[in-house]
Amino acid sequence: MIEDPQPRQRNRKRLWLILAALAALLAILIVPPFLSVSRYKASITRLISTSLGRPVRLSSVEVRLLPRPGFVLTDLTVEDDPAYGAEPVLHANTVTASIRLLSLWRGRLELDTISVDEASLNLVRTPLGRWNIDPLLRTASVQAQSASGESTAGKAVKLPYLKATNSRINIKDGVEKLPYSLLNAEMSLWQESAGDWRVRLRAQPVRTDLSIEEADTGVVRLEAEFHQAPQLRQMPTHLDLEWREAQLGQLTRLLLGADAGWRGDLTGELHLDGTAETAQIRTRLRASRVHRAEFAPAAPMDFDANCTMVAHFTVRAIDNLVCDSPFGDGHVHLTGNLSGGQPSSGASPGISVEINRIPVALGLDALRTVRSGLSPNLKVAGTVSGKLTYAPVAAVAAALPQLPLHSARARQAKTPPPPPGPLTGSLTVQGFELSGSGLSQPIVIPKLLLEPAPATVNPSQDSSSALVAAVALPAGAPTPLSITMRLAASGYQATVRGQASIARAKELAHIAGLGDGLDALAGEAITVDLTAGGPWMPPPPNPLASGGFVETGSQSLRSFFGPGYSFAGVVTLRNANWKADYLTNALLISQATLHLSPEQLRWDPVVFSYGPVKGTAILIFPAACGESQSCSPSFQLQFGALDAAVLQAALLGAHEKGTLISTLLERLRPTASPVWPRLDGTVKAESLLLGPVTLHNFTATLSTIPDGATIPAFNAILFGGLVQGSGSYRRAASATDKPAYELEGQLTALNPPALGQLIGLRTSGGLFDGNGKIALSGFTSGDLAASAKGSLHFEWQHGSIAAASGFLPPALARFDRWSADAVINNGALTLNENQVKLGLRSQSVQASIPLAIPPKIDFAASKPLPAKR
């Protein structure tokens, strides 16, 4: 029987395949350790350097055969051109470079792919506008043709496929590293053919000097094609750029360095075809759910804008700009040509915007988005339609016919016509109605026309590039408010003159977000003359300290107007009254004038009466202050003759001194008194009556606190001398408490005859000095006298006393020096240790003065003291 040879042949083939596999496996395991890697390090370094067109350094090279043959490079650094800075253009700790297997059969070493992970790439732009990747894209393919001296004639070494993952891209402006970077970058760069480049990028933009939620800054995707040219700006380019899922709050932090308070999602697209000389561009910008962070409106602002244009980057010009965007039931259409000089197409520079039935509510939503302080309950109705065209003045003048110098029309003209304005056209607002936010009646304007401002002869004044409108608005007063508005691209300005009822003025103040400062005001109509203006988008305000009622309005004013805002004017009040929670009675204002400026709100003067107390005041509210400055308001109070008992009666709620009954007040006072606002200022009075004592030219610095006031310093003229010191006042915190007072001061050079007259004695001699302190509480003079506790020390030189009646210690008839300490307690001032000296003799006297009106001194028998040798 003859055996079949085919199974035997198949077995031999299988055996050879197994032997080849074993040989390959042994080669993989045994051969790499015997390979001289050092001989490839220089070749690989030269090859990468030639491919990239940059000097390259690396620490070590390892051979890798699986999953495909290649090298593992350690500590790769690609140096940059010194013209772009000293930092390397690329650095990576570990790089994998795979080999083109076919090149090994030809006896050449070529790299197929270079992969880096967690690398750092620096993109540098010089002040002349050149990028450090420009030489790379222009020269890499040319230099690759002679790489390492191993390429054959007419053979080009193809650039490796460059790939980066989990990397970082830094952006530098000259030697300065900008705070903007791209993280988690996945980038690929390769040559499809000689001179044809492809780039693909996916990354997250971040700001390195701030802590930003990376997930909310969106994702940037880029795909681009470049074709070889002598310079980067001449390279034909196709580019698709997309920025998706960017949250507006984090986006403003990324671009502006601070959260502008906007919320919503933004997606942008850009498609470019051409070169830096001339490129066709298509853009699309979509935003959804745009609103401020403080509230979520019922109808958030959305838009979808599409634009096409021809851009000339080298001359910074744009031709054939066309943009369309729908808004509600209307749309906006924009066309024009923009440039610093004449556009390359020869068309006249200018821009035209056509608006068709755009809701006015869209403008309110936009203003509410960029500025805080506007009430979220405010509603507006109406539409805007019209067309505006803007062209530079030079272009308009060149288009006008020029009259001969000696023409008949030129000779007849008495005054030169105004120069043509750059802005032409108009906008019409139909059916404007503002309601909500506490308005008792809506503000209705049937028709409002916005026209360009008149041109000015002075070319430096660009007032003609703005829209102006004027309207008369009834505000519950005999004279309506005359409102003039000026709207420009840079900002706005409004002037308000006329009269308004206080009720209407409070409603308008609430609309502007000026707080509750006018809620407690009532009276006749007010007169206003105000001018306000500022940019549409101010920078984010710095946090300012606030606290207390009076700062609420000022803080709202600062947050609403923001930095860069300017306002000035005068508001006049007459025959008004103001009632605050922390005041028992209403403050009657016969006249008050408010002066507004960017630095402060100043009430000067305020002529007021509070019960029987009458005076004038100046109040100053800071409009803005730094972190090191105090933002609390300040005041100045001026009185004529002021009675302390009358003042206490007014503060406690009694209009007349005779009604100051503590039991009645305790029933009327609330169980918890509202806190006082923080105020710092001065109080002056021509005279201050403290029971039987009158202080002249009284001046004190005073600071209010939630439960009272502190007096850091006061001074006045008393009995021909000077009294100065400090004190404090605490309000009654509950129905069972009483107001408390503390005083501490010094007496200097008092006149003894005037002092003796107070206590019923005829005194003469040298000046009287002393110091002391006292604490007392209560509502009536009896309560105050009974609760008084304190001490007094005085020195009297070369004096004499004669009693009108009663006992007088002989030692006081004439003395050289009287030094004494007294204690205030149990409703009287009682002398304690004291010395009455006449020559070498010393005696002590005993006396007490009841704290009553009038005070009478009562002496007891004297005790002689032993003479000192």
Q: Which of 404, 432, 455 is the last residue of a domain?
A: 455
Q: Verify that 216 and 268 share a domain, yes or no.
A: no
Q: Verify that 207 and 266 share a domain, yes or no.
A: no
DSSP string for residues in 32-93: HHHS-THHHHHHHHHHHHHHHTS-EE-SEEEEE-SSSSEEEEEEEEEPPPGGG-SS-SEEEE
Between residues 135 and 315, the one the model is more confident about: 315
Give the closest residue to 374 by CA, choosing from 509, 495, 497: 509
Residue 314 pLDDT greater than 70, yes or no: yes
- Alpha carbons 297 and 468: distance in angstroms, whole number: 30
Range from 53-67, 163-177, 613-627, 826-840 that averages highest in pLDDT: 826-840
**Among 93-102, 153-162, 207-216, whose mean pLDDT is lowest?**
153-162
Range from 174-183, 229-238, 426-435, 644-653 that averages highest in pLDDT: 426-435
CA–CA distances in Å: residue 370 to residues 181, 263, 567? 26, 11, 19
Residue position matching structure tokens 């010191």: 725
The three-state (H, E, C) secondary structure of 209-270, written as one string: CCCCCHHHCCEEEEEEEEECCCCHHHCCEEEEEEEEEEEHHHHHHHHHCCCCCEEEEEEEEE
CA–CA distances in Å: residue 289 to residues 259, 295, 299, 340, 369? 17, 12, 8, 36, 11
pLDDT for the residue numbered 63: 73
Instruction: Kindly report the pTM of this predicted structure.
Output: 0.63
Q: Verify that 198 and 284 share a domain, yes or no.
A: no
Between residues 581 and 799, the one the model is more confident about: 799
% of the chain at pLDDT higher than 90: 22
Q: Verify that 209 and 283 share a domain, yes or no.
A: no
Give the closest residue to 553 by CA, choosing from 603, 485, 606: 603
Residue 561 in any domain: the answer is: no
pLDDT band at 385 (very low <50, low <70, confident <90, very high): very high
**pLDDT, averaged across the chain:** 77
Q: Verify that 73 and 218 share a domain, yes or no.
A: yes
pLDDT for the residue numbered 454: 75
- Alpha carbons 111 and 46: distance in angstroms, whole number: 12
Tokens of 352: 């035209």
Q: Verify that 130 and 50 share a domain, yes or no.
A: yes
pLDDT for the residue numbered 640: 92
Residue 690 in any domain: the answer is: no
Residue 681 in any domain: the answer is: no
Q: How far is CA 772 from the centre of its chain?
A: 50
Q: What is the mean pLDDT of residues 620-646?
A: 78
Q: Verify that 334 and 444 share a domain, yes or no.
A: yes
Q: Which of 216, 233, 250 is the last residue of a domain?
A: 233
Range from 80-94, 172-186, 512-526, 712-726 that averages highest in pLDDT: 712-726
**Among 3-7, 283-287, 865-869, whose mean pLDDT is lowest?**
865-869
Q: Verify that 212 and 280 share a domain, yes or no.
A: no
User: How many domains does the chain fold into?
Assistant: 3
Q: How far is CA 751 from the centre of its chain?
A: 58
* DSSP conformational letter for 101: H
Q: Verify that 64 and 181 share a domain, yes or no.
A: yes
CA–CA distances in Å: residue 704 to residues 551, 581, 711, 731, 775? 13, 15, 9, 11, 19
- Alpha carbons 101 and 112: distance in angstroms, whole number: 9
Q: How many other C-beta atoms can be found within 10 angstroms of the C-beta atom of residue 632? A: 22
Q: Verify that 290 and 203 share a domain, yes or no.
A: no
Tokens of 640: 């004529």
Length of the chain measured in residues: 869
Residue 597 in any domain: the answer is: no
Residue 465 in any domain: the answer is: no
Residue 253 in any domain: the answer is: no
- 297 CB-side CA count, 13 A: 25
Between residues 368 and 396, the one the model is more confident about: 368
pLDDT band at 543 (very low <50, low <70, confident <90, very high): very low
pLDDT band at 191 (very low <50, low <70, confident <90, very high): confident
Give the closest residue to 617 by CA, choosing from 598, 603, 601, 630: 603
Residue 36 pLDDT greater than 60, yes or no: no
Residue 241 pLDDT greater than 90, yes or no: yes
Please tell me whether residue 761 adopts helix, strand or coil conformation.
strand
pLDDT band at 660 (very low <50, low <70, confident <90, very high): very low
Residue 560 in any domain: the answer is: no
Range of the domain at 822: 751-865
Between residues 314 and 719, the one the model is more confident about: 719
- 502 close to 477: Cβ distance less than 8 angstroms: no
* 496-530 CB burial, b ≥16 within 10 A, e <16: bbbbbbbebbbbbbbbbbbbebbebbebebbbbeb
- Alpha carbons 265 and 290: distance in angstroms, whole number: 7
Give the closest residue to 268 by CA, choosing from 250, 293, 288, 297: 288
Q: What is the pLDDT of residues 569-602, one digit of tens each?
A: 898 999 998 887 777 778 899 999 989 887 788 8
- Alpha carbons 786 and 792: distance in angstroms, whole number: 17
Q: What is the pLDDT of residues 67-116, one digit of tens each?
A: 667 778 888 888 888 888 888 888 888 888 777 655 555 556 667 788 88
pLDDT for the residue numbered 567: 76
Q: Verify that 756 and 861 share a domain, yes or no.
A: yes
Q: Verify that 310 and 436 share a domain, yes or no.
A: yes
Between residues 355 and 175, the one the model is more confident about: 355
Beta strand ranges found along 102-174 (DSSP E):
111-117, 120-125, 161-173
**Among 186-200, 461-475, 504-518, 825-839, whose mean pLDDT is lowest?**
504-518
Give the closest residue to 308 by CA, choosing from 286, 327, 333, 326: 333
pLDDT band at 273 (very low <50, low <70, confident <90, very high): very high
Residue 537 in any domain: the answer is: no
- 520 close to 353: Cβ distance less than 8 angstroms: no
Q: Which of 214, 233, 252 is the last residue of a domain?
A: 233
